[in-house]
Amino acid sequence: MTVETPVRSSPLDGWQNTFDRLPESLAIREIPFLTQLSLRVEPGSPAARAVEDALGIALPGPSRADMSGEVKALWLGPDEWLLVAPPDQGHDLVTRLRAAIGDAFATVTDVSAQRTTLALSGHLTREVLARGCAIDLDPRVTPVGSCLTTLLAQAGVTLVVRGVAASSAWLLVRSSFAGYLASWLVDACTEYRGDV
């Protein structure tokens, strides 16, 4: 009996051809299958320090993200972070963090299947996002490293500002809304296409 290995597909499988036809001043690509862990821990507690030591980073404060290392830390709430790492590291990372935390009060949960990530870059990024997002993306208000949970075109996203003046950003969106958000982004770029 032959057992077939399930084929892994992203919620935006097949969209890259559409993204490639956008104006040169905006690039969009999906970063599928990233490891995503929900971390709930009291800031400054022994458990939080154990996590920071294990990851080699400081957990960022309100509305901030630490994108410097292999494991990125995104602040989601007063005692909640989303840890984002390369694909297929969930089991090892959960095991390592739970061992570091020990008996202290904290939780680490693999939520990798909940969201996908869209990476946007180019000088139109800020303008296109502003069409559907109430967040002020002026660099004086949302500098590089800002991490905000908001709505974009009525879809819940976590927006991470990665470039100066929001010239590049990550959008983490629930898998069930990914197709809708991709369609909205393509539509929001229509007036910038030279052939329209």
Q: What is the pLDDT of residues 126-185, one digit of tens each?
A: 999 999 999 999 999 999 999 999 999 999 999 999 999 889 999 999 999 999 999 999
| Assessment of whether the complete model's pTM goes beyond 0.75 | yes
pLDDT confidence of residue 73: 98
User: Are residues 167 and 72 both part of a single domain?
Assistant: no
DSSP SS3 for 140: coil
Write down the mean pLDDT value for the chain: 94
The fraction of the chain above a pLDDT of 70, given in percent, is 98
pLDDT confidence of residue 4: 79
Q: Which domain, by its residues, includes 68?
A: 35-110
Domains in the chain, number = 2
Asked whether residue 178 is domain-assigned, the answer is yes
Domain-ending residue, one of 52, 78, 110? 110
Please check the confidence at residue 86 and state whether its pLDDT lies above 60: yes
User: Are residues 52 and 103 both part of a single domain?
Assistant: yes
Closest CA to 57 of 69, 47, 46: 69
Please check the confidence at residue 87 and state whether its pLDDT lies above 70: yes
pLDDT confidence of residue 165: 85
Asked whether residue 47 is domain-assigned, the answer is yes
Higher local confidence (pLDDT), 49 or 5: 49
**What are 152's strand-pairing partners?**
133, 155
pLDDT confidence of residue 177: 98
User: Are residues 163 and 188 both part of a single domain?
Assistant: yes
User: Are residues 149 and 170 both part of a single domain?
Assistant: yes
Domain-ending residue, one of 110, 139, 159? 110
User: Are residues 47 and 89 both part of a single domain?
Assistant: yes
Handedness of CA 44, 45, 51, 52 (dihedral sign): positive
User: Are residues 20 and 40 both part of a single domain?
Assistant: no
Domain-ending residue, one of 110, 139, 174? 110
Asked whether residue 10 is domain-assigned, the answer is no
The string of pLDDT tens digits covering residues 22-38 is: 998 999 999 999 999 99
Phi/psi at 32 (nearest 5 deg)?
A: -80, 160
Phi/psi at 22 (nearest 5 deg)?
A: -75, 165
pLDDT confidence of residue 125: 96
Contact 93, 85 (CB under 8 A): yes
User: Are residues 132 and 88 both part of a single domain?
Assistant: no
User: Are residues 135 and 186 both part of a single domain?
Assistant: yes
User: Are residues 96 and 188 both part of a single domain?
Assistant: no
Q: Edge-to-edge strands of the sheet including 65-66?
A: 65-66, 72-77, 80-85, 35-41, 106-110
User: Are residues 181 and 121 both part of a single domain?
Assistant: yes
Model confidence at 192, pLDDT cuts 50, 70, 90, reads confident
Over residues 88-96, mean pLDDT: 96
pLDDT confidence of residue 175: 96
Tokens at 42, concatenated: 């009291």
Pairing status of strand 35-41 against strand 80-85 = antiparallel
